[in-house]
Amino acid sequence: AQTVTQSQPEMSVQEAETVTLSCTYDTSESDYYLFWYKQPPSRQMILVIRQEAYKQQNATENRFSVNFQKAAKSFSLKISDSQLGDAAMYFCAYRSAWSNFGNEKLTFGTGTRLTIIP
Amino acid sequence: NAGVMQNPRHLVRRRGQEARLRCSPMKGHSHVYWYRQLPEEGLKFMVYLQKENIIDESGMPKERFSAEFPKEGPSILRIQQVVRGDSAAYFCASSDPRGDGHTFGSGTRLTVV
């Protein structure tokens, strides 16, 4: 079974600075997807970024980028130029690339609460 | 497109009562997933359904919990004889058969008193 570990329960960063959230995972599969989701106080789960394991290039979405180290099974999220609206819980998630009957179930980490200091 | 609709947003039940949580997937989506989020934890997979079929229920508790996704109407997660430990946020997500990933609803927060 796959597991996802987020070892930082809480992080804080000064507004406009850069912060990196850590995620490690364990799997015996060679092909899979990794995700970062943001959950603000509204509780809505918002997809931040997605990485496909067979792609060596790190995914980037505006101020958000990842450092994907497949051999180390590490998938960290970097947020540049932090803004007050970035304050939220951030969850790392794993999904196998192989599915029975289209099953895309996700395995989540326990999350990191990010606080932005004005 | 209204996205994934869950209702109610908040639900309070007394111990021993039944809870029914509803999820209407996005238009065009025929795959539904239910997840549970206990306080200060990540989401845990419960069940994956397609229309009229339960495909994977490996995360469902063996007793008191059931799910359905009928041909017509929303998917329902049903919890019978609720206990305090059932208090959590329950999220529904839907996807289409092409595998473009989950779209989440806003969740139902169940409180058992």
Chain A neighbors of B104, CB-CB under 8 A = 44-45
Tell me the CA distances in angstroms from B52 to A35, A99, B19, B22, B68, one per residue in order.
29, 19, 21, 15, 7
pLDDT for residue A102: 82
CA distance B43 to A73: 21
Both tokens assigned to B76: 């329902």
Distance between CA atoms of residues A74 and A70, nearest Å: 6
pLDDT tens readout for residues A55-80: 888 999 999 999 999 999 999 999 99
Give chain A's contact residues with B (Cβ, < 8 Å).
4, 6, 42-45, 47, 50, 91, 99-111
Task: Judge whether residue B1 has pLDDT over 70.
Answer: no
B→A contacts (Cβ < 8 Å), by residue, are 31, 33, 35, 40-45, 48, 50, 55-56, 59, 89, 91, 93, 95, 97, 99, 101-102, 104, 106-107, 109
Identify any residues that bridge with B23 across adjacent strands, giving them in sequence order: B6, B75
Token readout for A118 is 């004005």
What is the distance between the alpha carbons of residues A42 and A65, in angstroms, rounded to a whole number? 24
Lowest mean pLDDT among A65-79, A89-103, B20-34, B59-73: A89-103
Question: Per residue in B61-91, pLDDT tens?
Answer: 999 999 999 999 999 999 999 999 999 999 9
Chain segment A10-28, per-residue pLDDT in tens:
999 999 999 999 999 999 9
Size of the A and B interface in Cβ pairs below 8 Å: 64
Shortest CA distance to B34 belongs to which of B65, B4, B77? B77
Residue B50 has pLDDT above 60, yes or no: yes
Residue B110: closest CA among B64, B48, B51: B64
Bridge partners (DSSP) of residue A63 are none
Over 90: is that where the pLDDT of A95 sits? yes
Q: Tokens 């060679």 map to which residue? A: A30
Reply yes or no on whether the pLDDT at B30 is more than 80: yes
Which of the 8 DSSP states describes residue A38? E
CB–CB contact B31 A104 (8 Å):
yes
User: For chain B, what percent of residues have pLDDT higher than 70?
Assistant: 96
Cα(A104)–Cα(B76) distance, rounded to whole angstroms? 19
Q: Do A105 and B41 touch (CB under 8 A)?
A: no
